[in-house]
Structure 1
Amino acid sequence: MAESATLSNPKSNTALSGERADLLTQLAAARRFLRFTTRDLSDEQAASRPTHSELCLGGLIKHVTAVERGWADFILGGKSLMKDFDDMTEEDFAQRADEFRMLPGETLSGILAAYEEVAARTDDMVATLPDLNSTRPLPAAPWFQDTHWSVRRALLHIVAETAQHAGHADIIREAIDGAKSMG
């Protein structure tokens, strides 16, 4: 049987082990790969779209930041902090689209700092939540087939979303200048 990681949580000055340490270790690895794709890039490069996709590296990190913040809010406050899909406005959809691009005045360092802030909040939340099994009702959306998610499931979604976009970022970075994050 594989052993779980043990991590130190500096905020609570406690050691984490087992499932919580495993969740944070996996999330840290995905975050590290995502951030690594931006090493040594200018703001212009981070905002560039070198593939047929609309995605850019700065925008991917903004999106992952927003997703992580949103699901952490969901864990702490429930679905009241998220809109049902049918209640979303054109402004909501425009704001979501802006998550995927760097807007005038945004810098890569600012985007990374915001990501670090959200990541620290999530890490502390994972370390201190009383129960990963508690469930929350999900907002109504065509992509949800469940009506409730556990805290654990929401955390796993954050890990999956981060890892998925780290892969996207690796492709974009390679298209910018040939640098690879993995392999």
Structure 2
Amino acid sequence: MTTSERVLTGERADLTQTLGRHRGFLRQTVRGLTDEQAAARTTVSELCLGGLIKHVAVIEDRWMRFAVGGAEAMQSEPLDWVNGFRMVEGETLAGLLDHYAQVAARTDELIATLDLDAAQALPVAPWFEPGASWSVRRVLLHLVAETSQHAGHADILREAIDGTKTMG
């Protein structure tokens, strides 16, 4: 049974709907753009709209691997920090959006089935408290925050491309 066939209620429904709403804001921001526009840097940073879509998909996938299998699963694939926020040769906006949709569908399935109280020890990193753990719930709240923050970034980048304001 897939999430679309399940009727989620309570906290699981709230988490799925809230994450879905912020994903939608991010996807709305790139609606109607060409690949060239999606790859354009409109600020001094490396950020571009396609790169933000790519980054959010990669990060969501990594955090859900963490939720299921801990730090080792999260770190099982290396991150490409150099190209993680930009579109590279051969990438298209449509392809990045398709990948993001696949990641989102997997996350939604996991929200419906995982024990939200199950916790994993965080990976060793200077930005995490040593020995701390996060529950699946905490991971999902982090994903909502990450997605909404990047949707705001995307809105600024889109406005610089063609004046379109997607968040207001």
TM over 0.5: yes
TM-superposed CA distance for 1:9, in Å, is 2.7
- What per-residue deviation string (whole Å, max 9, x for no partner) do you get for residues 28-68 of structure 1? 11000000111110000000011222100000010000000
Matches of 1:44 and 1:175, distance apart in 2:
14
Is contact 2:48-2:86 (8 Å) kept?
A: yes
Q: 1:4 is matched with which residue?
A: none
- What per-residue deviation string (whole Å, max 9, x for no partner) do you get for residues 97-150 of structure 1? 211000011000000000000000000110111x10111001000111261101
- What per-residue deviation string (whole Å, max 9, x for no partner) do you get for residues 136-173 of structure 1? 00100011126110110011111111000000000000
- Structure 1: runs of 5 or more not aligned: 1-7, 84-91
Q: 2:21 is matched with which residue?
A: 29
The list of structure 1 runs, each at least 4 consecutive aligned residues, that deviate by more than 2 angstroms after superposition, is: none
Which residue type is aligned with residue 120 of structure 2? R
Aligned equivalent of 2:3, options 6, 9, 17:
9
In structure 1, the residue corresponding to 2:82 is in which secondary structure?
helix
- What per-residue deviation string (whole Å, max 9, x for no partner) do you get for residues 72-109 of structure 1? 100111111234xxxxxxxx56x122110000110000
Aligned equivalent of 1:52, options 44, 48, 71:
44
Matches of 1:56 and 1:176, distance apart in 2:
10
In structure 1, the residue corresponding to 2:109 is in which secondary structure?
helix
Q: 2:58 is matched with which residue?
A: 66
In structure 2, the residue corresponding to 1:101 is in which secondary structure?
coil
Under a length normalisation based on structure 1, what TM-score does the superposition of the two structures give?
0.86
In structure 2, the residue corresponding to 1:136 is in which secondary structure?
strand
Q: 2:110 is matched with which residue?
A: 125
Q: 1:136 is matched with which residue?
A: 120
Matches of 2:112 and 2:8, distance apart in 1:
7
User: Is 1:96 matched with 2:81?
Assistant: yes
Matches of 2:123 and 2:94, distance apart in 1:
33
Relative to structure 2, which stretch is displaced further, 143-152 or 171-180? 143-152
Matches of 1:64 and 1:14, distance apart in 2:
26
Matches of 1:82 and 1:70, distance apart in 2:
5
Q: 2:92 is matched with which residue?
A: 107
In structure 1, the residue corresponding to 2:55 is in which secondary structure?
helix
In structure 2, the residue corresponding to 1:27 is in which secondary structure?
helix
Under a length normalisation based on structure 2, what TM-score does the superposition of the two structures give?
0.94
Report the identity percentage.
Answer: 59
TM-superposed CA distance for 1:174, in Å, is 0.2
In structure 1, the residue corresponding to 2:158 is in which secondary structure?
helix
Matches of 2:63 and 2:162, distance apart in 1:
33
In structure 2, the residue corresponding to 1:149 is in which secondary structure?
strand
- Structure 2: runs of 5 or more not aligned: none
C-alpha RMSD over aligned residues: 1.8
Aligned equivalent of 1:171, options 156, 163, 166:
156
